[in-house]
Amino acid sequence: MQVIENLKVKEKVYIEKLENGLTVMIIPKKGIQKKYMIWGTHYGSNESSFIVPGEDELTTVPNGVAHFLEHKLFEQENGTNSLDVLTSLGVEANAYTTNDHTAYLFECTDNFYEAMDELMDYVQHPYFTDENVEKEKGIIGQEIMMYDDYPEWRVYLNAMQAMYHNNPVKIDIVGTIETIRKIDKEILYKCYHTFYNPSNMTMVLCGDFVPENMLEEVKKRLVNTKASGEIKRVYPKEPEEIVQEKIEQKLEVSQPLYTIGIKDTGKCDVKKHIAMEILLNLLIGRSSNLYKELYHEGIVYAQPSLEYEFTNIYAHVLMNGQANNPEKVYQKLKEEVQKFKTNGINKSDFNRMKKMIYGGYVKEYNDVSDIARMFLADYFKGINSFDYLEEIEGITVEYLEQILKDVFKEEKMVLSIVKN
Amino acid sequence: MEYKQTELKKGIKLHTIQTDKFKTNLIAVFITTKLNRENVTKNAVISAILRRGSKTMPSQEEISKQMEEMYGASFDCGLDKMGDNQVLKFYLETVNDDFLPQKEEDILKISLEKLLEIVLNPYTENEGFKPEYVEQEKNNIKQRIEGKIDNKARYALDRCIEEMYKNKPFGLYKFGYVEDLENINEKNLYVYYQELISSCKIDIFVSGILKDNINQVVTENENIKKLKERTPDYIVPKELNKDLPKEEKVVTESMEVTQGKLILGLNICLEKEDLRYDTLIYNSILGGSANSKMFQNVREKAHLAYVANSNYLRYKNNIFVNCGIEIGNYQKALELIREQIENMKKGEFTQEDINNAKKGIIATIKTIDDEQDTGITYYFGQELSESGISIEEYMERIKQVSKEDVIHIGENVAIDTIYFLKD
């Protein structure tokens, strides 16, 4: 096994790529009772057009299949539901779907191997029937309606509509009532066999484990599957321009919610991600002049959340919050960006923010579930999580100023508002 | 892991949790006071005003800068209802010295001093808080009060509690009331703050890789020294519901929603406090897990909901059943939920259900020490309810629960309020 050690947080990750293509990562945590296992496939709501290995023709499926599969995998041929079985073992089991991956997980103190049996069994044995697929449409339908009532979700998704013409990040991960209606067991099987091949999957285990032994336990439970060839993922062409600058929706809320988005192009790497985090905090973070001004003028009453989101097919900045006048926040942010561009970045502010971001990375290593989820999500982006701790030192003011110029362009900005 | 508590002065305690499981040290200061209409809004404004500035860090920007300088110490405040108390919570999390890229001076000591200063030595002008801060924070709290409609699921639960506890302390909204903000000004709020600090219960928690001098650092702190001993003014949440509600209250409210939010507030009548452990098992079978009656019957079999669960509020002995449904399915869902409650009473569950519930609860107890904030919350809960039960005893007590015990709880549960939020 390949071993990577990080001396800053004093942790190690053991990595092995098995013959069937599956990547296994083990992060031992001595003295912790909690154990965590997560198994993910590099397949999320982004993938709805693809060429199955060995086929020539393009397959296109309705939106929401990845998430539908996540729900349905728990169902077993013998009539049991794996979520029930896992819960009976006293473990906390769950699953989730994102834009670029789907993951199955559990957290426990006791019965780890029994739970591992169950998890690895159900992920490797799909069982879909016309009845059980139909039944799920009712439950997912309620899940979709639940999200319709979340203003935070609406304001985010609308920002995606404003930024993207065709990129699948603009579609709802769960699909819509109309698209899920078209899903049947054939579609589910086809997507399952394409994307749940071990060569497209990664497993992360974190807890008080001996890595070599744990790897054997994993191997024992794998069914015999050969690594498939490359899945050709076909994404629609996305122009660099945004769709529209402003978008608004009415919902019953106490105060307007806003998302300011900045569409970015090109690949993102660890270095750029760190720089974006420092930059966003300098611009509108807790100690920034802009936040101070907005707070004092009573425009906002809490710091906006700041994020730089990216996968292999998109990258954008997101700032979310509530404000009595989102237009004002948007205007002032534009002015502040201009000021930063003209005056340059203050060196001592920069150093302080670097320290803060560093501390934030260290804190990620407190909890086995946070660690495992981080390693999995980063892996699908082609990143080793430890790199954040190592690369931060090398970030310079000059690099930040370059990023500021490249990313913070007025013509790439959008404002999404949800209000009464 | 080692937990210790020391009474610094009457009504003021230091709790230390020595643990090497984390990369961080977590410090918490909890201010506990009786919940009542007169003070609930003032307490909310106090909790907001204290983060605006202290004696040596007179502004929010200054506090933030100093926190950033300490490798992103995260400073956070919260406001909670615990039984009939209102608790003002202040947290500071810092990276432990062992994981810093270079040698720094004792960050734990500095951060402890800073947090105590923020809570106990606020920034003042002319015997009052800074007028500008008070005006802004009143507005801030107003937004928070009005903001309760933004999360519809949370709103439905808050409203159900409000209806169940009409004209009682626990029915109060934790951020208070807009109409009570008017009379608050920088002078009277500061007078109230001084009263609060001299009469409330104060608990200081420090968790992490601690040095031997930790007690000394706290006892010798200037802000601690100037505090006087007190008989703290709070309510030990030991009260048990004597009677079951005689009739059900039904409340329906309309709002712009796509999905209906149905909440059932249940009352549990217990003869003795010890039965709370049995109630935990009861709740787990009714709606506390994916194996529960709610999840299995309302979600998996009837496909009426995506969210279908129940939560036990131990300080008040209530269970809240919660689900998001299509609005037209109200009657159907309600009948189905009633059936689940009825079946619990009739003992229509198996020994296996009980065993599963126990496993789930015990796993949660075992991880208390694996999460830094959960550890603090657990020990604070013990402190507040004066129960002093160890984690081992807690697990032991859960293991003893029998089927009869759970049926007994079932017989003593009744629906108090049915709340439905629809379009």
* Residue B387 clears pLDDT 90, i.e. is over it: no
Residues of A in contact with B305 (CB under 8 A): 139, 142
Cβ pair B307:A146 closer than 8 A: yes
pLDDT of B234: 95
Contacts of B163 (CB under 8 A, 6+ apart): B171, B249, B251, B265, B417, B419
Cβ pair B367:A252 closer than 8 A: no
CATH superfamily of B249-422: Metalloenzyme, LuxS/M16 peptidase-like (3.30.830.10)
pLDDT of A267: 77
The average pLDDT across B230-241 equals: 88
pLDDT of B389: 86
Cβ pair B369:A88 closer than 8 A: no
Residues of A in contact with B150 (CB under 8 A): 151, 253-254, 257, 322
Residue B160 CA from chain centroid, whole number: 17
The answer to whether the beta carbons of residues B223 and B120 sit under 8 Å apart is yes
The answer to whether the beta carbons of residues B116 and B90 sit under 8 Å apart is no
The answer to whether the beta carbons of residues B35 and B42 sit under 8 Å apart is no
Residues of B in contact with A110 (CB under 8 A): 359, 362-363, 366
pLDDT of A22: 98
- In percent, the amount of chain B with pLDDT more than 70 equals 100
Q: Catalytic residue, from A11, A47, A70, A75: name it.
A: A70
- Which of A254, A285, A367 has its CB closest to that of B371? A367
Q: How far is B381 from chain A (nearest CA, A)?
A: 22
- What's the pLDDT band for B235 if we cut at 50, 70, 90? very high
Cβ pair B143:A146 closer than 8 A: no
DSSP string for B235-268: --S-----S--SS-EEEEEE-S-SSEEEEEEEEE
Contacts of B301 (CB under 8 A, 6+ apart): none
- What's the pLDDT band for A268 if we cut at 50, 70, 90? confident
**Residue showing tokens 């949660």:** B364
Residue A70 appears among annotated catalytic residues: yes
Residues of B in contact with A139 (CB under 8 A): 299-300, 303, 305-306
Cβ pair B306:A139 closer than 8 A: yes
pLDDT of A416: 98
B287 DSSP assignment: I
In angstroms, rounded to a whole number, what is the distance separating the alpha carbons of residues B185 and A337? 37
Cβ pair A108:B325 closer than 8 A: no
* Residue B331 clears pLDDT 80, i.e. is over it: yes
* Residue B97 clears pLDDT 90, i.e. is over it: no
Cβ pair B300:A81 closer than 8 A: yes
Q: How far is B243 from chain A (nearest CA, A)?
A: 34
Q: What is the dihedral of CA B240, B242, B245, B251, to 10 degrees?
A: -30
* Residue A287 clears pLDDT 90, i.e. is over it: yes
Q: What per-residue string of b and e applies to A108-126 under the rule 16 or more CB within 10 Å gives b?
A: bbebbebbbbbbbebbeeb
In this structure, of A125-134, A136-145, A213-222, the range with the lowest mean pLDDT score is A136-145
Which value does ipTM take for this structure? 0.86
pLDDT of B23: 95
In this structure, of A233-247, A259-273, A368-382, B79-93, the range with the lowest mean pLDDT score is A259-273
Burial of A152: CB neighbours in 10 Å, binned 0-12, 13-18, 19+: middle
pLDDT of B140: 93
pLDDT of B106: 85
- What's the pLDDT band for B240 if we cut at 50, 70, 90? confident
Amino acid at B72: G
Residues of B in contact with A357 (CB under 8 A): 72
pLDDT of B377: 96
Tell me the per-residue pLDDT of B375-386, one tens digit each, with 9 for 90 and over: 999 999 999 998
- What's the pLDDT band for B239 if we cut at 50, 70, 90? confident
Q: How far is A74 from chain B (nearest CA, A)?
A: 12
Record the pTM: 0.91
Cβ pair B366:A109 closer than 8 A: yes
The average pLDDT across B335-363 equals: 96
- Which of B24, B61, B362 has its CB closest to that of A366? B24
In angstroms, rounded to a whole number, what is the distance separating the alpha carbons of residues A270 and A276? 10
B-chain residue closest to A291, CA distance: B61
pLDDT of A245: 98
- Which of B152, B363, B371 has its CB closest to that of A108? B363
pLDDT of B160: 98
B-chain residue closest to A254, CA distance: B147
In angstroms, rounded to a whole number, what is the distance separating the alpha carbons of residues B45 and B141? 7
Residues of A in contact with B147 (CB under 8 A): 254-255, 322
Mean pLDDT taken over chain A: 96
* Residue B243 clears pLDDT 90, i.e. is over it: no
Domains belonging to chain A, first-starting first, are 2-233 (3.30.830.10), 246-419 (3.30.830.10)
Rg (CA), chain A: 23
Residues of A in contact with B64 (CB under 8 A): 285-287
Tell me the per-residue pLDDT of B121-159, one tens digit each, with 9 for 90 and over: 999 999 999 999 999 999 999 999 999 999 999 999 999
Q: How far is B267 from chain A (nearest CA, A)?
A: 27
Helix, strand, or coil here: A96? Answer: strand
The answer to whether the beta carbons of residues B137 and B181 sit under 8 Å apart is no
In angstroms, rounded to a whole number, what is the distance separating the alpha carbons of residues A118 and A116? 5
Where along chain B do the CATH 3.30.830.10 domains lie?
A: 2-225, 249-422
Tell me the per-residue pLDDT of B272-328, one tens digit each, with 9 for 90 and over: 888 999 999 999 999 999 999 999 999 989 999 999 999 999 999 999 999 999 999
The answer to whether the beta carbons of residues B314 and B288 sit under 8 Å apart is no
- What's the pLDDT band for A6 if we cut at 50, 70, 90? very high
- Which of B71, B152, B362 has its CB closest to that of A90? B362
Per CATH, the architecture of B2-225 is what? 2-Layer Sandwich (3.30)
* Residue A266 clears pLDDT 90, i.e. is over it: no
Q: How far is A18 from chain B (nearest CA, A)?
A: 32
Amino acid at B240: L
Cβ pair B71:A366 closer than 8 A: no
- In percent, the amount of chain B with pLDDT more than 90 equals 89
Tell me the per-residue pLDDT of B155-172, one tens digit each, with 9 for 90 and over: 999 999 999 999 999 999
DSSP string for A237-298: ---SS-S-SEEEEE---SS-EEEEEEEE-S---HHHHHHHHHHHHHHHSTT-HHHHHHHHTT
Cβ pair A358:B61 closer than 8 A: no
The answer to whether the beta carbons of residues A119 and A37 sit under 8 Å apart is yes
Helices (H) and strands (E) in chain A, counts: 15, 15
